[in-house]
Chain A
Amino acid sequence: MASGSQLEAIKGAKVLMVGAGGIGCELLKTLALSGFQDIHIIDMDTIEVSNLNRQFLFRQCHVGQSKAKVARDAVLKFRPHINITPYHANVKDPEFNVEFFKQFNVVLNGLDNLDARRHVNRLCLAAEVPLVESGTTGFLGQVTVHVKGKTECYECQPKPTPKTYPVCTITSTPSKFVHCIVWAKDLLFAKLFGDKNQENDLNVRSNDGTNLTAPTEDVFERRTDEDPEQYARKIYDHVFGYNIEIALANEETWKNRNKPRPLYVRDVLPDNLIQQNGSLENCVTEESVVSSMLSLGLKNPQDIWSLSENSRIFLEALRLFIEKRQKDVGNLTFDKDDQLAVEFVTAAANIRASSFGISLHSLFEAKGIAGNIVHAVATTNAIIAGLIVIEAIKILQGDFENCRMTYCLEHPSRKMLLMPVQPFEANKSCYVCSETPLILEINTRTSKLRDFVEKIAKNKLGMNSPMIMHGSTLIFEAGDDLEEDVAANYALNIDKALAELPAPVTSGTVLTVEDLRQELSCNINIKHREEFDEEKEPDGLVLVGWIAPTQKDTRLVSNGESTSTAHPAVTEMVENSDEVGIAPAKPGTKRKLSEMSEITDNVHDITPRSSRDVNDQVNPQEVEDDNDDVDDDIVILDENPETRKKKRLQ
């Protein structure tokens, strides 16, 4: 039980919890047991089956209902007399403004994405409310404390950005399974089942970007009278056979690479096997999930299918989409919960992997990669929730001196499984909690205002409704409630190059980007640059001025129910990890920006694939060890005064 002074602070406190997921359920329970009386909780999500293994306030019968509301009801059963106010809403909604945040003594985050975390950080800074931030991935977790004027803010350390791959790696020279997944999901799946008007790099390109295949008729277009099976085989032969042959013709590409093997249905599947595909009509009833695995009798998602099994799944899934899901075709985007889509993407990625000599993966693994699925267990969430409450109590008592960031490790570091670290000071060059201007290197002649709004203001700076000013001229503002003529004016300029705007943006221009809801404003010095390295700077722009502090950061990266604070070593690891996304071929590419931002949205959740690596790289500099006070933890059993001297670790 909490001590007397703690109880007093707890009872009088009004706390805001953001997120009622894995950490949120544990946190709400521990807060209620600890004596908190007034808890507000925001979560926009509804309950899913895969939540039930850890989000223990929810049951099967709650699937589809609001997490915030069900969590409240569950906790009231054992603590009926406390106040829990649920909001089934997005924390980014305008109702949760600075005034709203000001009513709380502390904000506790149990979020699953970077975007919302950044937003809450800004509101906490503006409202001057302390924030306890948290995250877990598998057995790893962390709790950090952010108090304006006392510690760094959540964004003082640059966050690892999602990995994007150059288009040519995806379209022509995959070397890892993840490249095949990206190809299958973002190119092939999108081409066959998505919006036909989207730009798509599926066809092989030569180095100068011209479309080599340039078919006179679009092979992907199915004639209305075309037999679905014939069509499926035609697609197979085109993407795994013909396109590979075309790519092979470009000998320069294969000088230092292993050549891929073109695959055709006739080689992979003997005739009798192809025949089997047609005979399964009766397996698919109206009620059941449409599944090619089901109709082919492949049951175990953990199995790695052979090339011929993958080929059969590919053909069958494509046929099922046409015959059973006709109404979806043309407006599908990949969804990890769409069984048939996962089957199709797994098979397509595996066939491509086979062609390129890359090892094949099970549907279970492929689904994890394609869907950026969080690795999550109840135990870590419970531990992290306990640690959040301990920090929250210290904050409520005004005991900021003793606040700690704590890491939950998988492998102990200096005997510690739970490792407290003194919070860092604010980064003086942080654009969020200080007023440091940023420098943007960009090609002002080819980059459009839209690029600036989407890639810089929204993506990099994390603003929701940015307003962009050139001196005193307002050149853009986001929002649905704009005057018609104003909106028309913005629409007129949005696709103009920066240098061609009525108030031209060129080298030396200073733009002010502001989000009124987040009470955040920053100045950006524009620097024109002609060329960008496609491999190293796939975005075609470089934002600098936001320098990581010199102190060595010890933070782990985690995701999902999770955070994305950066540890230099970990950042690097994450960048090498198998995240999904495609970068445009070059700044001038015609890829639609909306599509780009969608791709990056999917990958905010960054999972270190090997947690052991993370731990091994943790080399904390400021781990609290020997304190100077008498009542420290260090027991020296030897009475010899020389050995009695405290040993400083590092």
Chain B
Amino acid sequence: MDGEELTEEETALYDRQIRVWGVDAQKRLSKAHILVSGLNGTAVEFCKNMVLAGVGNLTLMDDRPVTEDVLQSNFLIPPDEAYYSGRSLDELCCESLKDFNPMVRVSIEKGDLSQFDGEFFDKFDAVVVSCCSLKIKKAINEKCRRRPRRVALYAIECRGSCGEIFIDLQNYTYIQKKSDGTAECQLKYPSLEEAISIPWRDLPRKVSKVYFAMRVIERFELSEGRKPGETSISDLPLILRLRKELCDAQSLSESHVPVSLLERMLAAGGKEHPPVCATLGGVLGQEVIKAISGKGDPLKNFFFFDTADGKGIIEDISNSSTS
């Protein structure tokens, strides 16, 4: 790759990871700009991973105040009221992350991302969204898709002992390494809207149940006008009613969205399970690094993790994948 060489300082700091992904990938990373909107535990894990990896710029957006729920999965903020009161989550996280790696520029942006002009997104290579409704996720996704240069979108959701990552790389071409050489590989990603609109009957066989459970809760929150995390186990009766409606409409047996799974996802309310955040934030970090560096096979287009069975599953939920 053209461009400046890494500095001696960078070479020393990133030595061990350059041995994993190479100098070119490291240079691309150092030029990349990532936006993270919504700083839940998984997003914070992700931010840490990107700052350590040496991404060029990281912009944070989350003007919520610090709450107990926030603190319990956040390792960037000391639980000292005198320190955090009156300050927003993004300011506090920014301050702490800057300290992790002086070579990364960490900044904050104020405002409502879903209301921003499309041009705002042009400077980013990837946008990570969490802590917002399905409607807002879709709106941001559409804005990213309409930009002349690809702005990748990642949406994360962590509910109790389960987590989900949605990825939209639009049209992504990369060189795939194979045992017998290399091959150009083209992937066409659907938008979030397109992906979740695919009739359940048309989905590949054996799709993770977490997918359906996430959709049911998401629809519930949308109809109630809530943000993720504002739903709890007390909402279960209403959610079960919605489950029946959706399953009937999609001709899917309700047993594919087990009550026990919904219960596990709702039990903790707004509190995240830190091991799930660490795992999900790690997988997300790896995916963003892959997409930016053009190295490695990117995941298409959903990832699910469930502590109950310990599986981390990739599902391709797109029209091209239906059979």
Contacts and interface: CB of A to CB of B under 8 A. Distances in A.
A542 to B, nearest CB: 34
B238 interface: no
B124 interface: no
Contact of B179 (A410, A612, A635): A612
Nearest to B312: A418
B11 A301 contact: yes
Contacts of A408: 312
A248 interface: no
B15 A53 contact: yes
Interface residues of A, number: 72
B53 interface: yes
Given A53-B17, A374-B16, A379-B49, A631 B177 contact: no
Contacts of B16: 50, 53-54, 373-377
Interface string B260-291: 11000001100111111111011101100100
A142 to B, nearest CB: 12
Given A382-B278, A382-B285, A633-B208, A2 B273 contact: yes
A113 B29 CA distance: 31
Interface string B181-195: 000000000000000
Interface stretch (B32-40, B72-80, B143-151, B214-222): B72-80
Interface in B37-96: 41, 45, 48-49, 52-54, 72-79
A389 interface: yes
Interface in A626-642: 630-631, 633-639
A389 B275 contact: yes
A274 B32 CA distance: 44
Contacts of B12: 49-50
A636 B286 CA distance: 31
Interface in A380-432: 380-383, 385-387, 389-390, 393, 404, 406, 408, 410-412, 415-420
Interface stretch (B105-113, B114-122, B132-140, B248-256): B248-256
B283 A1 contact: no
B207 A382 contact: no
Contact of A416 (B102, B260, B312): B312
A32 interface: yes
Given A78-B78, A377-B17, A419-B311, A54 B274 contact: no
Main secondary structure of the interface of B (DSSP, over half): mixed
A422 to B, nearest CB: 11
A637 B20 contact: no
B49 A378 contact: yes
Contacts of A373: 15-16, 19
A75 B14 CA distance: 23
A532 interface: no
Contacts of A377: 16-17, 20-21, 53, 286
Nearest to A74: B75
Nearest to B102: A60
A12 interface: no
Contacts of B161: 3
Given A78-B78, A382-B285, A417 B313 contact: yes
A80 interface: yes
B275 A633 contact: no
Interface in A182-209: none
B271 to A, nearest CB: 3
A383 B307 CA distance: 12
B264 to A, nearest CB: 8
Contacts of B314: 412, 415-417
A3 B311 contact: no
A637 B78 contact: no
B100 A56 contact: yes
A420 B313 contact: no
Given A389-B275, A417-B299, A138 B20 contact: yes
B211 to A, nearest CB: 9
B230 interface: no
B209 interface: yes
Interface in B150-174: 160-161
A30 B278 contact: yes
28 contacts: A1-B160, A2-B273, A33-B274, A50-B12, A53-B13, A53-B54, A59-B100, A77-B78, A78-B76, A79-B79, A300-B5, A376-B17, A376-B19, A378-B49, A378-B282, A378-B285, A380-B282, A382-B278, A383-B278, A385-B278, A416-B314, A420-B310, A612-B177, A613-B179, A633-B206, A635-B209, A636-B205, A636-B206
Interface of B: 5, 11-21, 23, 41, 45, 48-49, 52-54, 72-79, 99-102, 160-161, 177, 179, 200-201, 203, 205-209, 212, 252-253, 255-256, 258, 260-261, 267-268, 271-279, 281-283, 285-286, 289, 296-297, 299, 303, 305-307, 309-315
Given A30-B278, A378-B49, A393-B275, 11 more contacts: A139-B296, A300-B5, A364-B18, A373-B16, A375-B17, A377-B16, A378-B48, A410-B296, A416-B314, A613-B179, A637-B200
